[in-house]
Amino acid sequence: MKRYERLGRIRRMDPVTEASEIYRLTVAHEFPWDFTRALELALYRTYAVPSIGGLLARTAELTERSQKRYDDTALLLDAVVEHGFDSEQGRTAVRRINRMHRSYDISDDDMRYVLCTFVVMPKRWIDAYGWRRLSRHEIVASTVHYRTLGHRMGIKEIPSSYEEFEACLDAYEEAHFAWDESARAVSDATLDLMASWYPKPLAPVLRTTTLALLDEPLLRAFRYTPPAPVTRALVRRAVRARGRVVRLLPPRRAPHFARQNREIRSYPQGYRLEQLGTRPTPGLRGCPVRHGDGSAAR
């Protein structure tokens, strides 16, 4: 197979009716490493919205059980990508995602914003660091894939195009990014988790490297001291150089899904989708007690 042969196949497919298959080819064959990094940063940037970061701090899922929370999120989303929405695994994964989110008092606006990060941040990452840019077919397919996920999660007023997702994300961040002490604690725990995947002496370097990949609004919201310009330039050039090297490699023949990532560490003996995720107890750590009519007690 030639380097761009799979892209040719994608361009012959229908980006709407075959959206999830195109998305699977893009994620698991063309850009598995890039999508992993981009989706990590997508979820991470949501902490800068205090209503999101504060809730995550209250649940303690990302401060006390950060590895498990990371793994469960990746595995549930990965099951939909690998098997499709209408498969048994896909339905189970979406059902678990919905049950977890419905246990908390989360606004539609916040849910919609998180969905926007899944659509927008991978494109921005790959445009900057990938071995090639995403084709229009792949952009449309990704948008359709996450619109489908959003509909199955019951999110209202979902953007209809990539451009609308991008505008929604930018507007929401401009309006809602702000300092929050508890959200900063979640951010610090996440940075510590990422550093824990590598030898301990490298932790300070890895933290600086991650901060060098963050944009200014995100750094300001968390009140991190920006890395020196030369550090930022070197880190970003190194990631771009990786993309240029990957371009010279032969295309991947076997798919690589998130469940195969070395960062997934919680389930060395395997896992069952229906057992993943949190099972919040009403009244504890951010999970509201609900009245008989379904409304949350304040």
Q: What pLDDT, on the 0 to 100 scale, is given for residue 280?
A: 67
Q: Model's pTM, two decimal places?
A: 0.91
Q: What pLDDT, on the 0 to 100 scale, is given for residue 279?
A: 73
pLDDT, tens digit only, all 298 positions of the chain: 899 999 999 999 999 999 999 999 999 999 999 999 999 999 999 999 999 999 999 998 889 999 999 999 999 999 999 999 999 999 999 999 999 999 888 999 999 999 999 999 999 999 999 999 999 999 999 999 999 999 999 999 999 999 999 999 999 999 999 999 999 999 999 999 999 999 999 899 999 999 999 999 999 999 999 999 999 999 999 999 999 999 999 999 999 999 999 999 999 999 999 999 887 655 545 555 444 444 444 3
Q: What pLDDT, on the 0 to 100 scale, is given for residue 298?
A: 36
User: Which backbone phi and psi does 14 adopt, to 5 degrees?
Assistant: -90, 115
Q: What pLDDT, on the 0 to 100 scale, is given for residue 126?
A: 98
Q: What pLDDT, on the 0 to 100 scale, is given for residue 1?
A: 83
Q: Which residues contact 276 (CB under 8 A, 6 or more apart)?
A: 72, 75, 76, 96
Nearest residue to 170 (alpha-carbon basis) of 179, 159, 180, 181: 159
Q: How far is residue 119 CA from its own chain's centroid?
A: 9
DSSP 178-202: ---HHHHHHHHHHHHHHHHTS-GGG
Stated as kind and residue range, the H or E segment containing 63 is helix 61-64
- What does each C-alpha distance from 130 to 44, 57, 151, 157 come to in angstroms? 20, 33, 29, 31
Q: What pLDDT, on the 0 to 100 scale, is given for residue 281?
A: 57
Q: What pLDDT, on the 0 to 100 scale, is given for residue 290?
A: 47
User: Which backbone phi and psi does 267 adopt, to 5 degrees?
Assistant: -130, 65
